[in-house]
Structure 1
């Protein structure tokens, strides 16, 4: 049984980490969040220590190192995006391996910095890249690998996940903390595209705003038109009023159905990490480079490579 700490225990994604820790037969020993709305701990790890000040959490974790049976083996990081780097580095310096949510860090330079801290501490960083474990994605990867080597698939990726007014008031609505909508809700899709279709060869951004972003990516094996949004107005008419989320991936005219099968992917990710098969800094680098380039890029006029929803936006605005 391994001892885990959880940083960001009150966040949306934290319960999945708590359940993964329990489902893999391990112990949540200590948790931290500035928010004390963490009652779910009672049903999963009622004996866990809890702190709302990072300094007290860090000192507690240091004291645990005095007894081998109490020392932390892993620190799970579920804090706001802009705090990931600092919390990962702190976990490594506590003598623990670190499991971090996406996006790991915002820039390739910070990946390099974490590699230096790994070398200094002898510990490892793992990123939750759960779509790599999804059955539908794995089957697609096999299909692409089996196709003729000169085949390049035409892909249309659409992800709209409606968010209310609270979103803009939270850290997620602040691009200095979330790094923008393409990073915050898109990074795992960009990782999936690399995982399935190979190295990125070209990128354009056709729209970039607070609530939506769109562009074109060319990979070794695919040309991808993508559209990401948190604006309910972008939902297709057939979905409006029925669902708040629309997720669609069209691959050369075939729909990829992967709306199911997400529930246990964090537990699968934890099992792989604990078995020594987790995804580390080198695996996460490509999607970080992709979103970093998207944030830095200027917009290009929408042409034939633009997602159809971009053309609709152009029609609405002028």
Structure 2
């Protein structure tokens, strides 16, 4: 078995190319955080922001992997060894990612969450297999079903704001492209590349723009409002050095309707970005029935926008509310 594990570990590096500095030294300088990151990585399915919860789930997953390995060695039952091998691969992956990224802190970026999903499922299958060999398994069936339902509901509750944000984000970006021939979530270099290929995809019918949001925006009632939002311009401090405009407000309820930040330049070019909600606390959810907490945050990459003064507004339902505030990009 050790030989097979060694082969699996060695094969991991076949075709491996290092594309950017990995900062191994900085990560190894803090071994406690290095280990914690492994647990957070594996448990990120339940939360990418609450590292404490993610760490507990990751610790449970590693415990199941170790317990299963001991069971396999003692009993020689290899029925679900492929599942254990998958889990071992994921733990090994977590270790390598931790080695290259834990120096940044315990946060896990979104694209790694698929690994955590596989890890949770793999650990669950191993638990079911392990208890299936004991006569008292019938007493745990109901508990496992209940735990599965609760866990699935919890994951849905945590990630529903992200799913809705991604939906509104894609719709807003479709409007940004149609109105301005650029996306507001990528670098200028990415927009230049996209302009070479994207129009051809549209021309050939491989992609069709959703029309509802753009039509609503064009027909929206426009009013002025004394309301204000908090905003901050980050010239080269976010997203690998590109420029970002971040707006926050507590004056919107995203449970009632999606809300978009509207930025308009002096020649009436309009840019959209959805406000992102956060999950409501369980206590608030139980008393109000609202999945989202009050307020939201919108982020726009403004590298492609020229210097000048921009009007700010909130697009909600069928109304654009223009604020008294304006933003001047230097």
Give the TM-score band, short-chain normalised: under 0.3
Which structure is larger by alpha-carbon Rg, 1 or 2?
2
Query: Per chain length, whose mean CA-contact separation is higher, i.e. which structure has more relative contact order (CA < 8 Å, sep 6+)?
Result: 1
TM-score (norm 2): 0.18
